[in-house]
Copies of this chain bind each other. A is one copy, B any other.
Amino acid sequence: MESLSKNKIKLVRSLQRKKFRDEYGLFVLEGHKSVTEALNHYPELIEFLVSSDDSNMLTENHYFLAESEINEISGLSSGAQWLAVVKKPKIQSINKQHIVVIDGIQDPGNLGTIIRSCDWFGMTEIICSKDTVDCYNRKTVQATMGSIFRVKVEYVDLKRYLESYNHPIYGALMEGENIFKSEVQNKGALVFGNEGNGIREDIQKLITHPIHIPGKGNAESLNVAIAAGIVISEFSKRSML
């Protein structure tokens, strides 16, 4: 197992920035579990991998780097002993029933968790507004727990996209209909908004089916990834019956 070249170190570091992830079509995957899973299931996407453990070489493109060096080039605060540089996957959406739409979510953990929930419930397509956090951000990738390889995520002009979308558009709004009692169409878009501001006004206008998750406590709102989880599970459940 060779030591990682300076150029490759530079590449890994550059991938902390969206600009370079877009330019090279690559992103960084961290953690032993994630890296070995990717290697088992998506070997064609792995450019190279790096570990601080030099006892068993997993692939030709497996390099060695001391743990302190991996920590240094890693964008996450907690130390990763494994990382891989990976090609962005080209995913075909299988589920043609429901799509999930994200309007301006900023927290990478929230987006990653929503991608993971979509994968669990079999919704394979997410459409994001252009100002939504990048799905290849390291914290997002980490929160997806591998689902980044199975859910198609696209960034579009959301207003234009929804204006030409010909199915029901559901949106979680305070004054919406009780999600547990409302009718669920077999096709539709489920829209979730920004953490602080919710769904933007010009997108709200395009919502044909406002929905609401009824609470009986005192919190002002639910975390957006939780709200998305509940709505996605409800739609998945109903279209399963």
Contact = CB atoms under 8 A, between A and B. Distances in A.
Interface of A: 77, 109, 113, 116-124, 143, 145-147, 150, 180, 213-223, 225-226, 229-230, 233, 236-237, 240
Contacts of A220: 145-146
Contacts of A237: 180, 214
Nearest to A195: B145
Contacts of A216: 121-122, 236, 240
Copies in the complex: 2
Nearest to A227: B229
Most central of A118, A180, A217, A230 by chain B CB within 10 Å:
A217
A173 B124 CA distance: 25
A143 B223 contact: yes
A116 B219 contact: yes
Given A117-B222, A180-B237, A225-B226, 14 more contacts: A113-B223, A117-B219, A120-B213, A120-B221, A120-B222, A121-B215, A122-B216, A143-B223, A145-B220, A145-B223, A146-B220, A150-B217, A150-B219, A229-B229
A79 B80 CA distance: 25
A50 B113 CA distance: 34
A159 to B, nearest CB: 28
B217 A122 contact: yes
Q: Considering the complex of A and B, which 3 residue pairs feature the smallest CB-CB distances, nearest first?
A: A122-B217, A226-B229, A119-B219
Most central of A215, A216, A219, A236 by chain B CB within 10 Å:
A219
Contact of A219 (B145, B213, B226, B236): B145
A233 B217 contact: no
A214 B237 CA distance: 8
A213 B48 CA distance: 36
Contact of A147 (B113, B213, B214, B219): B219
Nearest to A115: B219
Contacts of A122: 215-217
